[in-house]
Structure 1
Amino acid sequence: MRDVCIVGGGVAGLAASIFTARAGLDTLVIDGGESILARNASLENYPGFPDGVDARRYLRLSREQARNAGSAFELGRVTRSELIDTNDLESGFRLETEGGEPLEARRVIAASWSDSDYLVPLDVGRIQRGSKHFVSTDAAGRTAVDGVYAAGRLAEEPHQAIVAAGHGAKVGLAVVHDSDANFYHDWVAPAGYFTGRGRDVPPGCEEIDDNERHRRDERARAQLLEAFDEPLDEAPTMHPSVERD
């Protein structure tokens, strides 16, 4: 049984997975194969990219970051979710997928805009607005069912990548705090920040010296230089309703 299963490999799901995996939770991302962001011709309003960035390149880098954090990925589509034992709310959840073996997880994050039919058996409180369905949550992404969360656009967050990423991170942290993970704050601090004041380094934090800081910076720069070295020969995905010649 996984600690966390995240349904949806887009911006919100990836951000959530980075935080849950870094906190030591066994995290699986079920990726339906395409994020809505892949339809974006150029991502222009995401902080850190002054002249914008190709949306597909951003997604690739985000997936790599999630893998580096320890997240596992499985390609597929979830068709149904249910409690393993309806008499035991702590038993976790079983997720059925198309053509695959059922998966089990203690907690589920739904980040699969705009597919949420698989949540119907759990009665999480879906809301229909026109042809779309959203999931009702509290401020941290918790649904009416303990152990089930919703992140990003599915949770009625604005349809912007930076908002989806932020909300996914917030939901990921809610999962961490609701779990048994020994966690305080995901932060890499300079050597002595805590210990220099006679404090232990809190769970989820790390102190590094200047040599390690320079090593990590060099590694990060090399990775980004390689990632942006060549043009990305991958076109945006057109909306399915657009007719093609």
Structure 2
Amino acid sequence: MRDICIVGGGVAGLAASMFTERAGLDTLVVDGGESILARNASLENYPGFPDGVDARRYLRLARKQARNAGVTFELGRVTSVEPIDESDLEQGFVLETDGGDPLSARRVIAASWPNSEYLVPLDVGRIQRGSKYHVDVDDAGRTAVDGVYAAGRIAGEPHQTIVAAGHGAKVALAVIHDSDANFYHDWVAPEGYFTARDRNIPPGCEEIDDAERRRRDEQARETILEAFAEPLDEQPTMHPSVERE
């Protein structure tokens, strides 16, 4: 049984997965194959990219970051989620998939805009908005069913990449809190930041010396330079209602 199963490999799901995995929670992302962000021609309002970035390149980097953290991925679509024991939700949930073996997880994060049909058996509280359904959540992304959360657009958040990433991280922190993981915050500090003040390094933090800082910076630069070395020969995915010649 996994600690966390995240349904949806878009921005919100990827951001959530990085935080839960780095907090020590075994995390699986069930990826439907393509994020809706792939329809974006140029991502130009995400901080850190002064001239914008190809949305597909950004998604590749985000997936690589999640994998580097230890997140595992499974390609497929979840068709239903049900509790293992309706009288004891702490036993976790069973997720049925289209063609694959059932999955089990102690907690589930829905990040699968616009699909939420698989949540119907749980009665989490879906709110219809036009032809789509949002999931009713509290400020931290918790649904009416203990152990089930929603992040990003499916939780009614604005349709922007930076918002989806931030909300995914926020929901992940709620999951971490509810799981009682030994966690303070995800922070890499310079050597002595805590210990030089006679403080223990908090859970979820680490101190690194200058040599290690430089090594990580060099690795980070190599990764980015390699990622941007060549143009991507990929076209944005057009909206399904538009016919292309």
User: Which TM class, normalised by the smaller chain length?
Assistant: over 0.9
Using the alignment, how far apart are the partners of 2:221 and 2:244 within structure 1? 40
- Deviation (angstroms), 1:244: 2.1
Using the alignment, how far apart are the partners of 2:89 and 2:75 within structure 1? 28
- The answer as to 2:155 corresponding to 1:155 is yes
Which residue of structure 2 aligns with residue 47 of structure 1? Answer: 47
Using the alignment, how far apart are the partners of 2:87 and 2:185 within structure 1? 35
Which residue of structure 2 aligns with residue 215 of structure 1? Answer: 215
Using the alignment, how far apart are the partners of 1:173 and 1:87 within structure 2? 26
Task: State the TM-score, normalized to the length of structure 2.
Answer: 0.99
- The answer as to 2:58 corresponding to 1:58 is yes
Which residue of structure 2 aligns with residue 131 of structure 1? Answer: 131
Which residue of structure 2 aligns with residue 78 of structure 1? Answer: 78
- Deviation (angstroms), 1:166: 0.2
Using the alignment, how far apart are the partners of 1:69 and 1:178 within structure 2? 21
Using the alignment, how far apart are the partners of 2:244 and 2:52 within structure 1? 27
Segments of 5+ residues of structure 2 without an aligned counterpart are: none
Which residue of structure 1 aligns with residue 22 of structure 2? Answer: 22
1:177-196 counterparts in 2 under 5 A? 177-196=177-196
Using the alignment, how far apart are the partners of 1:78 and 1:154 within structure 2? 15
1:92-241 counterparts in 2 under 5 A? 92-241=92-241
SS of residue matched to 2:90? coil
- Deviation (angstroms), 1:108: 0.2
- Deviation (angstroms), 1:130: 1.1
CA shift digits 1:53-88 (9 cap, x unpaired): 000000000000000011000000000000011121
- Deviation (angstroms), 1:180: 2.7
Which residue of structure 2 aligns with residue 7 of structure 1? Answer: 7
CA shift digits 1:194-243 (9 cap, x unpaired): 00000000000000010000000000000100000000111100011101
CA shift digits 1:74-124 (9 cap, x unpaired): 000000000011121211000000000000000000000000000000000
Using the alignment, how far apart are the partners of 1:139 and 1:213 within structure 2? 35
- Stretches of 4+ moved more than 2 A in 1? none
Task: State the TM-score, normalized to the length of structure 1.
Answer: 0.99
The letter of the residue matching 2:178 is D
Using the alignment, how far apart are the partners of 2:172 and 2:65 within structure 1? 15
SS of residue matched to 1:90? helix
SS of residue matched to 2:95? strand
RMSD: 0.5
Using the alignment, how far apart are the partners of 2:41 and 2:181 within structure 1? 39
Once the two structures are aligned, what percentage of the paired residues are identical?
A: 82
